[in-house]
């Protein structure tokens, strides 16, 4: 007689019951083994979740999140050599060379010196200012189709972006995307390069792809908002601002973009309120000071804000032009206005020259004269970058008189005589 489906389904349960009654010891042992296996799997899962989270965050180019997850994992598994190598890469991307080097040392302590650790050391050198010394070796490895070619491309792009070699960085990003068309980091970095090459529509498309793959990528979203505002696409900018405000409501760039949106929407009072909020925490934000002046109704008030912006950043040529226009609209101030117009023309021409110098440095990155010119132009606006250019020039030409003169004057002006003295000494000795 055929059994019913219900009776067939109950067979395993009835058989299990018979086994328990007939072999209680074996059954208990099986149960304990099952529990042990489940416990082991649970512990393994608990230990390794942060590692999986770190890798996922790194794939999405959420580097701070990846770093936090790796720190959690290495607290649980401090002797995982491969994890230290991954942590080294993450810290490189964060711009923390000392932390990266510590992880590399931990890897060598656990696994010894390997081809992978030697490559990581070269990549670390490349990303911390020694690209000129190691680039030829890295390019040879790329030409040999090294298995770690993605890591090499990553280091090359990072370094060239840092050096303002945007055309070169774009070239390497495109080579990376040939291998990994949906790589978030490669798309984002190509977007940065394209944006700085004034290819705004292309950069916008890159950032949109980044956000499709990694919706929490706030940096790409903020850059996209700024491009949309340049294109006067207020609706699109507002949509993205709503998202980024959830995690970075008080970020200066977010507040600045929001104020610009409100201005374009004809909501001047709200824009002023947002700018006042920004300036309460960042009183030296030149862009916010300039925008605040543009929204002022009274010419005297406009002038006050524009002069504050110029005091913070003497090279801010947009603010200088606004001040010139403001003075022209006031009676008996035409002579002052013309003097300001000359300053505007000088500063603007300097920035046009700066872009040309950056293009020349892509072809001649070790030319000290070009580095000094770049440093002298950018020093008033961004001392950190300006000093970097000048010190790089001195590393190539230690007796470069113009570099020493610029540095001596800068440190004297900023009341740092102890730093100015060595440069004055070099100028007096001529070597």
Classify domain 371-431 at the CATH class level. Answer: mainly alpha
CB-based contacts of 41, cutoff 8 Å, min separation 6 = none
- 220-282 folds as 1.25.40
Which of these CATH numbers, 2.30.30.40, 3.40.50.620, 1.25.40.10, 2.60.40.10, describes 46-120?
1.25.40.10
- Give the separation between CA 356 and CA 335, rounded to whole angstroms: 32
The answer to whether the pTM exceeds 0.85 is no
The 3-class SS string of the chain reads CCCCHHHHHHHHHHHHHHHHHHCHHHHHHHHHHHHHHHHHHHHHHHHHHHHHHHHHHHHCCCHHHHHHHHHHHHHHCCCCHHHHHHHHHHHHHHCCHHHHHHHHHHHHHHHCCCHHHHHHHHHHHHHHHHHHHHHHHHHHHHHCCCCCHHHHHHHHHHHHHHCCCHHHHHHHHHHHHHHCCCCHHHHHHHHHHHHHCCCHHHHHHHHHHHHHHCCCCHHHHHHHHHHHHHCCCHHHHHHHHHHHHHHHCCCHHHHHHHHHHHHHCCCHHHHHHHHHHHHHHCCCCHHHHHHHHHHCCCHHHHHHHHHHHHHHCCCCHHHHHHHHHHHHCCCCCHHHHHHHHHHHHHHHHHHHHHHHHHHHHHHCCCCHHHHHHHHHHHCCCCHHHHHHHHHHHHHHCCCCHHHHHHHHHHHHHCCCHHHHHHHHHHHHHCC
Whether 50 and 82 have beta carbons less than 8 Å apart is answered as no
Overall average pLDDT of the 192-209 stretch: 96
pLDDT at 48 > cutoff 80: no
Backbone angles phi, psi at 14, to 5 degrees: -65, -40
User: pLDDT per residue over 309-361, tens digit each?
Assistant: 999 998 899 999 999 999 999 999 999 999 999 999 999 999 899 999 999 99
User: pLDDT per residue over 86-124, tens digit each?
Assistant: 999 999 999 999 999 999 999 999 999 998 899 889 898
pLDDT at 382 > cutoff 60: yes
pLDDT of residue 3: 45
**pLDDT > 70: percent of the chain:** 89
- 287-365 folds as 1.25.40
More confident residue, 46 or 305: 305
pLDDT band at 5 (very low <50, low <70, confident <90, very high): very low
**pLDDT > 90: percent of the chain:** 71
pLDDT at 241 > cutoff 70: yes
In CATH, what number does 142-214 get?
1.25.40.10
pLDDT of residue 274: 96
pLDDT of residue 136: 87
pLDDT of residue 143: 87
Chain mean pLDDT for the chain: 88
pLDDT of residue 272: 96
pLDDT of residue 144: 87
pLDDT of residue 27: 54
| Lowest-pLDDT range of 239-248, 256-265, 378-387 | 378-387
pLDDT of residue 34: 58
Residues of the chain with CATH 1.25.40.10: 46-120, 142-214
pLDDT of residue 1: 40
Whether 244 and 225 have beta carbons less than 8 Å apart is answered as yes
pLDDT of residue 428: 75
| Lowest-pLDDT range of 7-16, 32-41, 43-52, 106-115 | 7-16
pLDDT at 32 > cutoff 90: no
CB-based contacts of 202, cutoff 8 Å, min separation 6 = 191, 194
């Amino acid at each position: 007689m055929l059994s019913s489906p219900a009776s067939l389904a109950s067979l395993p349960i009835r058989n299990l019951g018979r086994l328990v009654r007939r072999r209680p010891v074996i059954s208990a042992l099986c149960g304990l083994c099952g529990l042990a296996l489940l416990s082991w799997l649970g512990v393994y899962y608990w230990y390794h979740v942060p590692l999986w989270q770190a890798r996922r965050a790194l794939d999405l180019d959420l580097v701070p999140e990846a770093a936090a997850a790796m720190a959690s994992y290495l607290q649980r598994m401090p002797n995982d050599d491969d994890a230290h190598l991954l942590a080294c890469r993450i810290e490189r991307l964060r711009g923390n060379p000392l932390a990266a080097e510590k992880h590399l040392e931990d890897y060598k302590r656990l696994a010894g010196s390997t081809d992978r650790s030697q490559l990581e050391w070269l990549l670390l050198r490349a990303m911390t200012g020694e690209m000129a010394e190691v680039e030829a070796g890295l390019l040879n490895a790329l030409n040999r189709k090294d298995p770690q070619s993605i890591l090499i491309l990553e280091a090359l792009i990072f370094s060239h972006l840092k050096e303002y070699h945007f055309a070169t960085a774009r070239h390497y990003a495109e080579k990376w995307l040939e291998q990994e068309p949906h790589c978030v980091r490669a798309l984002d970095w190509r977007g940065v390069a394209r944006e700085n090459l004034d290819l705004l529509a292309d950069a916008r498309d890159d950032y949109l792809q980044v956000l499709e793959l990694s919706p929490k990528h706030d940096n790409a979203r903020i850059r996209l908002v700024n491009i949309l505002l340049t294109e006067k696409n207020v609706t699109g900018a507002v949509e993205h601002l709503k998202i980024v405000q959830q995690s970075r409501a008080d970020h200066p760039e977010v507040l600045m973009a929001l104020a610009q949106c409100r201005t374009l929407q004809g909501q001047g009072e709200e824009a002023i309120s947002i700018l006042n909020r920004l300036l309460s925490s960042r009183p030296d934000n030149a862009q916010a000071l300039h925008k605040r002046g543009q929204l002022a109704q009274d010419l005297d008030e406009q002038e006050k804000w524009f002069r504050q912006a110029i005091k913070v950043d003497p090279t801010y040529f947009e603010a200088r032009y606004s001040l010139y226009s403001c003075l022209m609209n006031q009676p008996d101030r035409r002579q002052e206005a013309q003097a300001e117009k000359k300053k505007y023309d000088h500063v603007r021409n300097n920035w046009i020259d700066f872009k040309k110098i950056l293009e020349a440095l892509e072809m001649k990155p070790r030319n000290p004269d070009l580095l000094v010119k770049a440093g002298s132009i950018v020093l008033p606006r961004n001392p950190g970058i300006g000093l970097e250019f000048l010190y790089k020039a001195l590393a190539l030409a230690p007796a470069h008189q113009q570099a020493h003169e610029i540095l001596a004057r800068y440190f004297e002006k900023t009341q740092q005589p102890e730093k100015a003295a060595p440069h004055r000494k070099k100028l007096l000795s001529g070597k």
